[in-house]
């Protein structure tokens, strides 16, 4: 990842003023053109943009595998990504402005996710979930340095598989989806932990990946709880080192002594 901007700021501590150097996260607009059509501008962090673009297309339902892409190019200098798909885009796309950081865009947001999410009941363990969030926090280097960055990770009982950072919480899921395609990883039935609020579009993205459990350090929205109930996904909020709130399908999450 590129180094963020460094600015001179004024810091006030107990009525004492001083000038200090402060790192500031970079906000990077990436114009996405698909089959010659301007599809969206992704407001993101400027690293590993191939993961972001491919994951975005995957979670919008435009591609399923890397074979669906005939060409992909990213020009960092001009902030533009060009993608050629082997299939055509739908004639009419209805973008939905999401509630996420960076004014994310989602197309074809499903109202019901029953057929998208994992249907088989899973057994997850609290200790594994605690460990996964702890591992994510340990990797959140950029947040520790200057704040303003969201992070997310996918793992299972054996540990963390993938992690991503971005100024947009939705972008972190797109990055995970893209990297999983590049690395040939199947994320069905895995656990996903995130630093950001879980809303409906976050659930939709996780459901497309077959995620069976989502967890956050903060809260979910009411509609996110409803969609997780429909999709058979366990939803956890306020995950701390030894406590959590379970909002849906608690039967899939087991205590150590159960």
Residue 35: the pLDDT is 95
CATH number of the domain encompassing residue 183: 3.40.140.10
User: Which residue of the set 44, 75, 101, 228 is catalytic?
Assistant: 101
Segment among 22-31, 166-175, 202-211 with least mean pLDDT: 22-31
Residue 97: the pLDDT is 46
**Which one of 50-54, 206-210, 217-221 scores highest in mean pLDDT?**
50-54
176: Cβ contacts below 8 Å, ≥ 6 apart: 55, 152, 153, 154, 162, 163, 164, 187, 192, 209
The 10 Å Cβ neighbour count of residue 133 is 24
- Structural domain including 94 reads 28-107
Query: Same domain for 181 and 219?
Result: yes
Segment among 8-12, 115-119, 147-151 with least mean pLDDT: 115-119
Query: Same domain for 136 and 85?
Result: no
Segment among 24-28, 79-83, 172-176, 212-216 with least mean pLDDT: 24-28
Asked if pLDDT for residue 31 goes beyond 70, the answer is: yes
**What total number of domains does the chain contain?**
2
Q: How far is the first Cα of the chain from the last one, in angstroms, to the nearest whole number?
A: 42
Which of residues 59, 77, 107 is at a domain's end? 107
- Report yes or no: 5 and 28 within 8 Å, Cβ to Cβ: no
Residue 1: the pLDDT is 46
Residue 121: the pLDDT is 66
**57 vs 97, which has greater pLDDT?**
57
- Would you say residue 20 lies in a domain? no
- Would you say residue 36 lies in a domain? yes
Query: Same domain for 69 and 189?
Result: no
Query: Same domain for 241 and 130?
Result: yes
Query: Same domain for 135 and 99?
Result: no
- Would you say residue 243 lies in a domain? yes
Residue percentage of the chain with pLDDT more than 90: 51
Please state the φ and ψ torsions of residue 59, each to the nearest 5 degrees: -80, -10
**215 vs 199, which has greater pLDDT?**
215
Q: At 96, is the pLDDT very low, low, confident or very high (cuts 50, 70, 90)? A: low
Mean pLDDT, the chain, rounded, equals: 85
Average pLDDT of 66-75?
97
Quick check: is 228 catalytic? no
Query: Same domain for 82 and 162?
Result: no
Query: Same domain for 160 and 250?
Result: yes
Q: Which of 250, 237, 199, 221 shows the shortest CA–CA distance to 97?
A: 199
Q: At 99, is the pLDDT very low, low, confident or very high (cuts 50, 70, 90)? A: very low
- What percentage of the chain's residues is helix, strand, coil (to nearest 5)? 30, 35, 40
Q: At 3, is the pLDDT very low, low, confident or very high (cuts 50, 70, 90)? A: low
């Amino acid at each position: 990842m590129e180094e963020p901007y460094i600015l001179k700021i004024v810091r006030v501590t107990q009525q004492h003023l001083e000038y200090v150097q402060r790192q500031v996260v970079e906000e990077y607009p990436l114009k996405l053109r698909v089959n010659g059509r301007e599809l969206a501008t992704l407001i993101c962090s400027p690293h590993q943009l191939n993961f972001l673009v491919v994951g975005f297309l995957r979670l919008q339902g435009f591609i399923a595998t890397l074979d669906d892409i005939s060409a992909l190019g990213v020009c960092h200098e001009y902030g533009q990504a060009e993608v050629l798909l082997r299939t055509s885009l739908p004639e009419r796309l209805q973008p939905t402005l999401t509630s996420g950081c960076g004014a994310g865009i989602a197309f074809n947001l499903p109202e019901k996710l029953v057929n998208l999410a994992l249907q088989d009941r899973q057994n997850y363990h609290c200790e594994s979930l605690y460990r996964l969030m702890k591992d994510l926090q340990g990797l959140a280097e950029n947040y520790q340095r200057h704040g303003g960055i969201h992070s997310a990770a996918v793992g299972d009982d054996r540990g963390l598989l993938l992690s991503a950072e971005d100024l947009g919480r939705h972008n972190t899921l797109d990055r995970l989806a893209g990297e999983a395609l590049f690395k040939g990883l199947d994320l069905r039935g895995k656990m996903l932990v995130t630093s950001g609020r879980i809303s409906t579009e976050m659930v939709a993205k996780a459901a497309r990946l077959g995620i069976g459990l989502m967890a956050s350090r903060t809260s979910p929205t009411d509609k996110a709880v409803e969609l997780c109930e429909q999709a058979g996904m366990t939803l956890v909020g306020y995950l701390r080192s030894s406590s959590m709130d379970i909002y849906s399908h608690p039967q899939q999450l087991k205590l150590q002594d159960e």
